[in-house]
Chains A and B, each alone.
Chain A
């Protein structure tokens, strides 16, 4: 079985596993959606709670509930949110483009800045400017996202704007830490490549500086591309804070609320979509890997 074909078997199994764990974890927590909705209200009688549980199907056995969810989601019907009764698919369809747009924009910014920056730092190697920049990068990496986001908002960044341009400040905040991580990675990779035998050979054959960097950079991109793919979940979780500050109603906030309100169908829907996105990102990184390195085509990373 080739790598890609194997993925087609592993991916669905992984998905089922992820949703099963999510389902089990949510049910292991005390309290359920009916309890949260009734809250501390005067009318939260045992009868009212029982009626809600019956209506939401929470009075059935757990295996029956999960089996029902699995059968429905196989037909891409994720059921209805227990909190507002709207279809989970519609809710995700509203929020996903926001978060995905934000994450992709952030990834593009991070990649676009980190690769040249990292390469420059690698090429200049021990120059004093490199040391100063490295220290500055560490400082940026340590900045708390919430505080930076609030400062950017205070500086006049748009709030609740869902256009690409409107989301740019939010994406930039989200990209900060990622940029530093990628740039440092890129610098190390380029240093390794520059020390490699083939670069020494190229140099000895009289290749100019520009040629050497171009040559080495192509190889040095490999780890960065892989890293970017696997960083998507980290971007998505950092998005919770950024979404809240910039008024972008995205998947991050929605998932947080779903846990707090014990909205099982909504959280399972989000988990499934998130898992698919992550697996897709890893696959995409694989493909990109192949493009960058012809030796890897037809092989599995």
Chain B
């Protein structure tokens, strides 16, 4: 764990500065064991969250009632995570309004029950026993038919759901009775339970025969969760209220208002005025100022790291980029540490491969390729490359991508590589990526705890899939095929680590870093913990 020096110094200067280790936490809202909590008499309480998540505050007991106002940076078009891929649509709805059959702890990855009261997994079937007597928010009964309907939509290639390929091993979905769902398997399905933990069950009676993107229920979702949808004023706010008939432990908050503020500076201003209770991300330009702002005394600053990594994808089919030595040389020309300083104020963690650091899939013995222009130049000579001209394609609205391009241009020039920067809008970037009409581009992926990299790196996925760089490696293909067939966690994780090593050696990507997010909470907010799957709204409460 890294605490910026400035804070430690500031901490030493003020009196009564306390550091404490946070207690562990048993529920799914993160554990936060080993977190560092710094309370300051003249500034916010700074919580540096480790890979086990953020710890809860010690206030209590919870008080029922009140309203929470949450800052949303990007307004989703609709709320239906089968077709809306924006993270906020999941954060607003998943396990808040709608619910999943299983629940995956966002930090440990442990799978527990949600709409399914129990489940049994055998080699050829996964049987889920639904909680009996559940009702949708509109009063209609919830049943196995809704589950069959939702899984059917998720498996339809025309829908384009993220979980589709996780269901490939499923040959049939059966419902022996209204509260039982059996998924028949033709082969091992290592990612199935995780997929079920991120698949919000849809009410069949509101969606049947309708297009998911156009159905009324995708703008006014009806679920079984602890909060009910109330209203959505586009461009302004979305309101939820407590579901008093919830089957599980009822929520404490009366209402949640999600306010759409897309400008980070404006959101920061509104937070300081008290118009927002939760600022999901402090703008990087204010990182230092926030940590010692006396007006924020009593506020909580949660510094945590979503499993989202920033990387450069090389077009492995273009000219000299086909040579792994060239790609490795280019990686050694990217000063990742300096980039993290410039773009994220140093608030980022290194990553070397396509798995979540800290999980058994991630080979922690791999060290990042160093930033070493001399070694890079030697590698280029070995590969017979005197000079090279490349274009770096990036999304113009991404400031960090622009900063990366500028740094690369400078460093590449010293090694005889001319880098041209091409700033485009998202649609153009996507179009070029899918047609492999680029040399290099910057993107970010969000990792699952059980990450299946088939879509990113299998050679079959170069045509129409996410293998934008057309990296075609028989060794990787063999590993990726094997991983999908290996149900045993230990054996599969060993294969994951082999793939990690291969990707590191071949560098289809240059892995940059995972950036930290600094979330700010008003002093009145309690038990609200962030994770990349969303906030613990169901447990949160406000003190006045």
Contact = CB atoms under 8 A, between A and B. Distances in A.
A264 B162 CA distance: 26
A242 to B, nearest CB: 11
B92 to A, nearest CB: 15
B160 A43 contact: yes
B265 interface: yes
B248 interface: no
A38 B266 CA distance: 29
A43 B162 contact: yes
B430 A41 contact: no
Interface residues of A, number: 47
A247 B464 contact: no
Given A40-B445, A43-B163, A245-B266, 11 more contacts: A37-B85, A41-B85, A42-B162, A43-B85, A43-B160, A45-B465, A47-B157, A95-B235, A244-B266, A247-B261, A254-B235
Interface in B64-112: 77-78, 83, 85
A39 interface: yes
Contacts of B335: none
24 contacts: A30-B428, A31-B427, A37-B77, A37-B85, A40-B430, A40-B433, A41-B85, A42-B163, A43-B159, A43-B163, A45-B157, A45-B464, A47-B160, A48-B159, A51-B159, A85-B78, A85-B213, A91-B234, A95-B235, A153-B269, A156-B273, A159-B266, A244-B266, A261-B427
B59 interface: no
A243 B85 CA distance: 26
A83 interface: yes
Given A30-B427, A35-B434, A153-B269, A43 B161 contact: yes
The 6 closest A-B pairs by CB, nearest first: A249-B235, A48-B160, A31-B427, A51-B158, A43-B160, A47-B157
Interface residues of B, number: 45
B472 interface: no
B464 A40 contact: no
B428 A31 contact: yes
Contact of A30 (B259, B263, B432, B465): B432
A177 B207 CA distance: 51
Given A30-B427, A48-B157, A41 B464 contact: no
The B interface, classified by DSSP as helix, strand, loop or mixed, is: loop
B275 A159 contact: yes
A246 to B, nearest CB: 8
A156 B274 CA distance: 12
Contacts of B234: 84, 86, 91, 94, 249
Contacts of A83: 77
A42 B448 CA distance: 12
Nearest to B275: A159
A37 to B, nearest CB: 7
B430 A36 contact: yes
Nearest to A49: B160
Contacts of B78: 84-85
A11 B99 CA distance: 53
Interface string A144-158: 000000100110100
A260 interface: yes
Nearest to B76: A84
* Residue of A30, A43, A86 most packed against chain B (CB within 10 A): A43
Interface in B447-506: 455, 464-466
Given A40-B466, A150-B269, A249-B235, A52 B160 contact: yes
A83 B75 CA distance: 12
B214 A39 contact: no
A35 B159 contact: no
A46 interface: yes
B236 A249 contact: yes
A186 B427 CA distance: 45
A254 B262 CA distance: 13
Interface in A37-65: 37-52, 55
B323 to A, nearest CB: 26
A166 B443 CA distance: 40
Contacts of A253: 235
Interface in A121-152: 150
B289 interface: no
* Residue of A37, A40, A156 most packed against chain B (CB within 10 A): A40
A244 B263 contact: yes
Contacts of B455: 42
A45 B427 contact: no
A160 B443 contact: no
Contact of B265 (A37, A84, A150, A260): A150
Contacts of A91: 234
B120 interface: no
